[in-house]
Structure 1
Amino acid sequence: MDEPVIVVGAGIGGLSAALCLAHESIPVVVVERFAEVREVGAGILLGPNASRVLYARGLGDALERVSAPMTHLGIGADRGELFVEKEANARADAPFRMIHRAALHGVLYEAATQHALIEVETGRAVEGFEHDAERGRVRAVGDEGWAGGWGRALIGCDGLRSAVRAQLHPGEAQPAYHGYTCWRGVTSRFEHEGFARGMLLELQGRGRRAGMGYIDEERVYWWATANTPQGERDGEDVIEDLQRRFEAFPDYFRAMIASTPAAQVLRNDIFDRPPLKMWGQENVTLLGDAAHPMAPNLGQGACSAIEDAAMLARCFAELRDEQGSLASVNVASAFRRYEARRCKRTAMLQRLSRQFGTVGQLEHPVAVWMRELAMRWTPRAMLDRQQAEIWDYRVEGGA
């Protein structure tokens, strides 16, 4: 395969796609909007369904240097009572790791820029793509008449408001607001007897949720959600405002907020899109948030993008093995096989994430009481089955 695959976007999904394709000897050009490639955000959970992909590609040691193990999961009420507390079952080659989003991105970016088959072009604001039908090629196009080099295929990894998706699906509705916003922060040198190292914890109140977990040896990541109108902005008193909003939550959570510099508190309204029945066309497809954006309630945004990347590369490799060489692979066939294997699972993750958020943001006292009753009495085996459906997924068995 002489002509490369064009990857639009150098986020976690785009870099994972580049690394997985290059692992199968497929050349890749990654085109990134920003002149300086960097990831913002706070902490994320890297579950076994995603960590096994990255560990299998030699990134385990690098990830462990900049992350922390998640050994226990807890879900409870705002007053601190836990209804669900369970050990995280993981293998050495597929662990649960809590990690800063920027640290994960840094590991992927370093690996990509050191790979001989991956080229990263920065400062290119992609607004769409164009085909050369006669030669079966495609390229990214942008503002001021810019056009990238031709490639054999193009993958839109350009996020929630994807330009590639907009061209593939013209007239599609804008992302849907969920009715709540999320604050996130990272604090250092935090110690409190009420919060154990290795625990990933979520507490649910009336129209509010809060969570926290260690992301490395020094730092704790926290998040908080509240039902609010879309588009509200914080003032300079954001720390005091959050202390008031979450006064019903345990003192250790409010201490985390208080120890975070106001300028480092991030706020994002929560959006998603309904699942698509078809992601791509011809030699163009989508990956990650561009294909299946989901609310951050299951820890599956980045994880599902990494799954996508591994499955996409697997489909290329299968067709290569069936047809004898990469040059003979029908890219459209590889993309449609990839989409057929991923659409059902990612739609399930989108649906579960939306449902978890809806239930977690309930405000009426009776609804909150019923939610807590359900958490107390739901059989552990049922919870284990649902979590296994999410975390035990393997690309090798995801056909």
Structure 2
Amino acid sequence: MEMIVEDIVIVGAGIAGLATSLGLHRLGVASLVLESSEKLRVYGFGLTTWTNAWKALDALGIGDILRHQHLRLTKSVTTSLIMGQETSTTSLRGTAKHCGDIEVRCVLRQLMVEALANELPSGTVRYSSKLIAIEDSGFSKILHLQDGTTIKTKVLIGCDGIKSVVAKWLGLRGTSFTGRYCVRGCVNNNHGHGLQLSFMHFFGKGFRSGFLPCDHKTVYWFLTWTPNNEELEMAKSPNKMKQFVLSKLEKAPSDIRRIIEKTEAEDIFTAALKYRPQWELIRGNISKGNVCVAGDAFHPMAPDLGQGGCCSLEDAVVLARCVAQVFNRKNNDYDNNIIEEEKEKDLYKRVEAALEKYANERKWRSIDISVTSLVVGFIQQGDLDFVSHLRDKYLASFLAHLMVNKSDFDCGRLNIVTPYS
């Protein structure tokens, strides 16, 4: 089988991979995205999309597309099911310290993925292309796919999730288990859900739940908890998990319980919550030579700040900006007397420097969000009486403001140019 040659290969057509490819495309640089699935992966439900994510989406040129499809949330409301009362209300309007207007919407994952993919040139994503091995070849990498295809590339970007083949090649260890699980669901009511434009949090003994309207008909919900052995078995059955969530939310308002009751089994998904320990992010290789990782392959994190997808979009903009500086035409004008090997060596060094710049820019931001998410998760879901009392009585407002403050970040713009042919 003939070897395919590409300048830039991105592994994974999720949010990080598609956004990185789109960022490069906006800057006139072509890339190939490898996706193991037979078609675009549009599964998943809602993504809490905070101010920092909208800055990235605007940089990529699809912010307004998604704004028109989703409602803007106006406040965050926290209710203690133990105390039987609201404990805090935090406005999601107003101006952030660094980034202008606060903007929060719950975006349906399918619509975000489709918006990213629709802006890419035809043929950018190669489906049924599962990466199984990476091989060094001078100043390039040889990628071996499951179907026998080999691809030679000057840059390899891993956006292939928590089981990343690229992260493993870089020497990053597997993810760690937080000890918690999350059950997620999504319901569409053709007659409208009638909810206020609020991010509604409900806290009970040992669990946390949230409800977010996406549009006038669709609501995304979740519940996180630490399961016992019996509950681990229940997690395999969506119908049992539906009843489990209803039992946890027995003291919640009736309109909230109706949302769970109307959720179909096929729209309920349960999974363990995993993260990459901070010492791995500090000591491990985010980039090495002409290889790097982004998104969940880089920083899988607990969902307690709602920043996993947001940080993936930040990664994409920063990474595209760094890599595009290497592959613009001006930087690739060489003296004709320079031998090919010297050209390849020079390009490799510039790619390596660009990926190191990206890694240095993203490392501490990712560590900050990841560690804060873990700590917030412990506080919000604490099942000890004194932790629950502290959270409900004193910390609810602080934690809500913390979520807003961590989203007050701007990854910067792309210098958009006309794509070259």
TM-score by length of 1: 0.87
| Code of the aligned partner of 2:362 | R
Partner residue of 1:254 out of 257, 275, 281: 257
Between the aligned partners of 1:62 and 1:55, the Cα distance in structure 2 is: 10
Partner residue of 1:126 out of 127, 131, 140: 131
Aligned to 1:209: 208
Preserved CA contact (<8 Å) 1:34 1:122: yes
Aligned to 1:19: 22
Aligned to 2:165: 163
Relative to 1, partners in 2 of residues 1:377 and 1:224: Cα closer, same or farther, differing over 3 Å?
A: closer
Between the aligned partners of 1:326 and 1:393, the Cα distance in structure 2 is: 33
Preserved CA contact (<8 Å) 1:315 1:335: yes
Give how far 1:376 is off: 5.7
Give how far 1:83 is off: 1.7
Partner residue of 2:63 out of 60, 64, 70: 60
Between the aligned partners of 1:270 and 1:285, the Cα distance in structure 2 is: 24
Preserved CA contact (<8 Å) 1:73 1:88: no
Cα deviation 1:95-141 (Å, max 9, x = unaligned): 42211111111111111245xxx6111101112322211xx112322
Between the aligned partners of 1:123 and 1:319, the Cα distance in structure 2 is: 29
Between the aligned partners of 2:13 and 2:102, the Cα distance in structure 1 is: 24
Between the aligned partners of 1:361 and 1:333, the Cα distance in structure 2 is: 42
Between the aligned partners of 2:404 and 2:203, the Cα distance in structure 1 is: 23
Between the aligned partners of 1:166 and 1:88, the Cα distance in structure 2 is: 42
Give how far 1:388 is off: 5.6
Partner residue of 2:153 out of 127, 140, 151: 151
Between the aligned partners of 2:355 and 2:62, the Cα distance in structure 1 is: 26
3-state SS of the aligned residue for 1:151?
strand
> Which is bigger in relative contact order (C-alpha 8 A, separation at least 6)?
2
Q: How many residues align?
A: 381
Give how far 1:239 is off: 2.5
Gaps of 5+ in 1: none
Aligned to 1:97: 105
Relative to 1, partners in 2 of residues 1:343 and 1:313: Cα closer, same or farther, differing over 3 Å?
A: same
Aligned to 2:311: 304
TM-score by length of 2: 0.83
Between the aligned partners of 2:325 and 2:94, the Cα distance in structure 1 is: 31
Moved more, 50-59 or 98-107: 50-59
3-state SS of the aligned residue for 2:153?
coil
Gaps of 5+ in 2: 334-345, 414-421
CA RMSD across the alignment: 2.6
Q: Is 1:336 aligned to 2:356, yes or no?
A: yes
Identity, in percent, stands at 26
Give how far 1:320 is off: 6.6
Between the aligned partners of 1:211 and 1:111, the Cα distance in structure 2 is: 32
Partner residue of 1:362 out of 357, 362, 382: 382
| Code of the aligned partner of 2:74 | T
3-state SS of the aligned residue for 1:375?
helix
Q: Which has the larger radius of gyration?
A: 2
| Code of the aligned partner of 1:181 | Y
Between the aligned partners of 1:191 and 1:208, the Cα distance in structure 2 is: 28
| Code of the aligned partner of 1:111 | E
Between the aligned partners of 1:99 and 1:376, the Cα distance in structure 2 is: 24
Map 1:167-246 to 2 at 5 A. Answer: 167-169=169-171, 172=173, 174-189=174-189, 195-196=195-196, 198-229=197-228, 231-232=232-233, 233-235=235-237, 236-246=239-249
Relative to 1, partners in 2 of residues 1:29 and 1:80: Cα closer, same or farther, differing over 3 Å?
A: farther
Between the aligned partners of 2:127 and 2:88, the Cα distance in structure 1 is: 47
Between the aligned partners of 2:394 and 2:148, the Cα distance in structure 1 is: 57
Give how far 1:86 is off: 1.7
Give how far 1:229 is off: 4.0
Aligned to 1:107: 115
Cα deviation 1:226-259 (Å, max 9, x = unaligned): 2104753343443323211322333222111001
| Code of the aligned partner of 2:75 | H
Relative to 1, partners in 2 of residues 1:227 and 1:301: Cα closer, same or farther, differing over 3 Å?
A: same
Aligned to 1:325: 331
